[in-house]
Amino acid sequence: MPGWGVAQRALWITAAAGIALDQSTKAVAAELVEGHQPSHLLGGLVTFTAYRNSGAAGSFAPRATLVFTLLAICVLAFIARKAPEIRSTGWAVGLGLVFAGAGGNLADRLFRTPGFGRGAVLDFIQVGHGGIFNLSDQCVTAGVVVVMVQLVRGVPLSSPAPASRT
């Protein structure tokens, strides 16, 4: 972490915490939820039920697992490439959350069944009668909201390069 500014630390701490929390909850869900009857909490408002999703949100394009794997790798590479330029904590947290979400679901696609690069994401939380999701999905959603707030506020992603003196 030498040479990292506040924004870079915020980005990578947010990303690492998000991935760790996502993977931990998926490990618990794989043991306690998958293969069991759904558990209903708060009068049925929240349901824990396991669903292996090979597509995108809402099971969109279930046969495009490889496409989503490559897309996640591109998102992670883009954020990692831009990280040194980021000067805003808001942008850092937003992109850290997107990185956590893409990284958490990428880990599933790489290491869960049916095999490397073709794995299905483990979704296990349902609110009301909505779709089933996981914490990676929520990280992406929250990260995009934070990024949109930065855009609306006019906060630049990075500071302009200092003008050269001639």
What is the CB neighbour count within 10 angstroms for residue 148? 11
3-state helix, strand, coil in the chain (%, to 5): 60, 15, 30
Among the listed residues 137, 143, 146, 147, the single catalytic one is: 137
Among the listed residues 123, 126, 133, 150, the single catalytic one is: 123
pLDDT tens digits in sequence order for the chain, 166 residues long? 556 799 999 999 999 999 999 999 999 999 999 899 999 999 989 999 998 887 666 555 556 667 778 889 999 999 999 999 999 999 999 999 999 999 999 999 888 877 776 678 899 999 998 888 999 999 999 999 999 999 999 999 886 655 555 5
| C-alpha radius of gyration, the chain, whole number | 18
pTM above 0.85, yes or no: yes
Are the C-beta atoms of 101 and 95 separated by less than 8 Å? no
Task: State yes or no: is 123 an active-site residue.
Answer: yes
Task: State yes or no: is 137 an active-site residue.
Answer: yes
Distance from chain centroid for Cα 153: 23
b (16+ CB within 10 A) / e for 20-53: ebbbebbeebeeebeeeeeeeeeeeeebbbbbeb
